[in-house]
Amino acid sequence: MKKISIIVKTSFVLLSTMALFSCAGTSEPAETIKFYVGSSNGDLSHSIYLCELNPADEAFAVLDSFAGARGGSYLDLSTGGKYLFAINQDPWKQETGHSTVSSFAVEPGTLALKAVNSQSSEGSGICHIHCSEKGDYIFAANYGSGHATALPVKENGEIATASSIVIGEGSGIVESRQQGPHAHQVMLDPGQNFLLVPDLGTNKVMIYAFDAESGVLSPNPAQAFFELAPGAGPRHLAFHPDGLSLYIVNELNSTITACSYHPEDGTITELNTISTVEESHLGMKYPAAVRAHPNGRFVYASTRGENSCISAFEINKDRSLTRTQVMEQVPNWPRDFNLDPSGKYMLVAGEHSNEIQLYKISQEDGLLTETDSKINLPAPASVLFID
């Protein structure tokens, strides 16, 4: 089994003191890649970090950190990067009490964040948010209560009260996790006409028609939901760049499902389902995140557990998937990973190992190559590149 090198070419953050590192007094190379990181540690006063990667020497740096979100474990930017939105994970373990979402204005040039406001997500245990293409709505997935919510965003970035609240119906065969609805992600389709909500508890991807004028969500009359295999537990999905297919990772049975997507009526049909890991993979195995490569040829999924891994998949001509690689012993508990806009680099966030590691992506076959470059941050749970 492959071992991870202990050589670390990074800047560090002291977890106990939350010390900040900056690049003040130095000129920043234009080719550096900047990104925000959200931490799931609800005890931190500053849970959002601004970081950069210099591809020339594969070195990381922490540029700044920001208050205004507690346990900001999922982030999203408006198109053009004018506003950033974060979840507040404070009530994650509470059965009652609403979670909140926060808005920040992004300062041009420095990319510093200035808090605008916070708003109720009208549900508990928030775990994901998504911003519309126009930046006029954000959507929230509340795992604890099961609700998905649409919230209008004003021109100044202020989040208004919810315009629509929906919840799935049903349960699944895994009694400990599927006793009722558990919305795990919210994602508008590329046409911005339908909101898809992977619901781990009901074992379905709920499909809602979205009226951008009123902000109202309603069950898609052509297909109200797409149901996965019993006990699958859909968690996250990613669209192909052309919007004609999508890929769903299933947390409870460690699989990924490739689907055709029909944007004219918001319907989904299955192509194939395969395991995210090798048959010989031992111990806990809970898929978390899924991303499609910008070239439209590859898909990647993370799996958490004693032997956390990132799996690469090739997209076949019929848009089904074939697994081509399982990169084992990645940072522990990769709740999120992301590909930079060029598709050359992948950052894998180890929520339990408090680190993010750099991997290179082959543009020919999509395979991953490990590097020694890491950056230490507390409980990284969301990686968001700045275009």
Task: Say if CB 286 and CB 306 are below 8 A apart.
Answer: no
* pLDDT for position 18: 36
Tokens of 77: 């930017």
pLDDT digits (tens, 9 = 90+) for 128-187: 999 999 999 999 999 999 999 999 999 999 999 999 999 999 999 999 999 999 999 999
Tokens of 359: 């991997």
State the CB neighbour count (10 A cutoff) for residue 43: 10
Q: 10-residue block means of pLDDT along the chain (387 residues)?
A: 33 35 41 96 95 97 96 95 92 66 97 98 96 98 97 98 97 97 98 98 98 98 98 98 98 98 98 95 94 98 96 98 97 98 98 98 98 98 96
State the CB neighbour count (10 A cutoff) for residue 215: 17
pTM above 0.75, yes or no: yes
* pLDDT for position 20: 35
Tokens of 330: 């990645």
d(C-alpha 97, C-alpha 225), whole Å: 28
Amino acid identity of residue 180, one-letter, is: G
* pLDDT for position 31: 87
Tokens of 151: 């919230």
State the CB neighbour count (10 A cutoff) for residue 42: 18
d(C-alpha 99, C-alpha 115), whole Å: 17
Residue 321's nearest CA partner among 259, 368, 277, 369 is 259
Task: Say if CB 248 and CB 203 are below 8 A apart.
Answer: no
Q: How many Cα neighbours within 13 Å face the side chain of 163?
A: 20
320 by DSSP, 3-state: which? Answer: coil
